């Protein structure tokens, strides 16, 4: 193959990556910003038109769900599988299908029927799109984390010790979800394998720390995020997702592997374990 032919072959791929970057740059900030009305984001054909322009198709999420079982309808399953997703077309079609699914609910006034249910469902829908769009941005060759310039108000940390084929690790603890708020309120949900290694048993803990301790942890996490570009890479040790909310209502995301060699990340993990008095906390580093 001549260099001219190689360049010609590479041109369409580069154009597709640029188009995908433009799409995620346009829509990620909108979904991240909790001040943007989710109903209005979904009740428009603009997002769907952008998906169609990228060549994505609505198949009701069947192809994505067949490859990554449960990931189309379940936020935790999506978060679990995303690091292994390398096919932008497959994920993009799932995103388009998800938009069609939830916009159908909007058109039938689901969001106005039950305020409590609406708030919970809306949060999950928004996070589903953010996680999927983040991964699409990464597949387009871009780190899409927004710069953190405002005061952090909450931290969400999702850690998993499973590899991407979902074979259990040696530890029965396979998944943790940590919430930490600036007022010191914390929640930790643990998922364990049962004795047969098949299903998960959950425990739910509420922990209170001082506002000063919460502020120190939030500052340490935001300081790390502000000066690092973090991309997911394959690791049998497991993966983590860090989400920080700021005072302006925006969410900032980072992804990584538990085996990452980063001294500041290890220090943050140890700080969380010490303050929460949970030495078994997976955090961001084993």
pLDDT digits (tens, 9 = 90+) for 104-140: 765 555 544 444 444 555 677 888 888 888 888 888 8
Spell out the alpha helix ranges (H) of 108-235. 115-139, 211-226
Checking if the pLDDT of 38 tops 90, the result is: no
Output DSSP code: residue 84: G
Checking if the pLDDT of 164 tops 50, the result is: no
Which has more pLDDT, 249 or 96? 96
Closest CA to 272 of 261, 260, 263, 285: 285
* Per-residue pLDDT reduced to its tens digit, 218-254: 999 988 876 554 444 444 567 788 888 888 777 777 7
**Mean pLDDT along residues 24-43:** 76
Residue with tokens 């049962």: 194
**Quick one: pLDDT at residue 130?**
84
Phi, psi torsion values for 16, nearest 5 degrees = -65, -40
Lowest mean pLDDT among 37-41, 45-49, 64-68, 243-247: 37-41
Domains and CATH numbers, the chain: 3-139 (no CATH), 152-276 (3.30.1560)
Let me know the angle formed at the C-alpha of 217 by 214 and 220, rounded to the nearest 5 degrees: 150
Closest CA to 191 of 207, 174, 178, 204: 174
Q: What percent of the chain has pLDDT over 90?
A: 25
Checking if the pLDDT of 143 tops 70, the result is: no
Q: Rounded to whole angstroms, how far apart are CA atoms 32 and 130?
A: 7
**Quick one: pLDDT at residue 84?**
82
Q: How confident is the model at residue 16 (pLDDT cuts 50, 70, 90)?
A: confident
Dig out the tokens for 64 from the structure: 């994505």
Dig out the tokens for 241 from the structure: 């997702």
């Amino acid at each position: 193959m001549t260099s001219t032919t190689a360049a010609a072959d590479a041109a369409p791929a580069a154009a597709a990556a640029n188009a995908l970057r433009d799409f995620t740059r346009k829509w990620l900030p909108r979904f991240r910003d909790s001040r943007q009305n989710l109903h209005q984001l979904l009740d428009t054909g603009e997002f769907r038109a952008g998906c169609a322009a990228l060549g994505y198709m609505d198949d009701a999420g069947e192809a994505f769900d067949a490859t990554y079982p449960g990931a189309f309808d379940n936020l935790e399953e999506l978060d679990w599988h995303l690091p292994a997703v390398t096919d932008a077309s497959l994920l993009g079609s799932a995103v388009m299908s998800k938009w069609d699914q939830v916009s159908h609910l909007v058109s039938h006034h689901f969001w106005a029927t039950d305020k409590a249910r609406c708030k919970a469902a809306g949060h999950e829908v928004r996070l589903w799109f953010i996680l999927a769009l983040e991964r699409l941005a990464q597949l387009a060759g871009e780190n899409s984390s927004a710069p953190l310039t405002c005061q952090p108000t909450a931290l969400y940390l999702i850690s998993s010790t499973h590899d991407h084929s979902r074979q259990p690790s040696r530890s029965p603890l396979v998944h943790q979800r940590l919430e930490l708020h600036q007022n010191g309120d914390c929640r930790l949900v643990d998922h364990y394998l049962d004795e047969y290694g098949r299903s998960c048993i959950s425990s739910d803990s509420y922990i209170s720390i001082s506002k000063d301790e919460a502020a120190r942890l939030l500052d340490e996490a935001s300081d790390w995020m502000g000066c690092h570009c973090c991309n997911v890479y394959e690791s049998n040790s497991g993966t983590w997702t860090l989400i920080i909310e700021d005072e302006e209502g925006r969410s900032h995301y980072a992804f990584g592997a538990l085996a990452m060699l980063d001294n500041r990340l290890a220090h943050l993990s140890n700080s969380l374990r010490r303050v929460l008095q949970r030495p078994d906390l997976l955090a961001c580093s084993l």
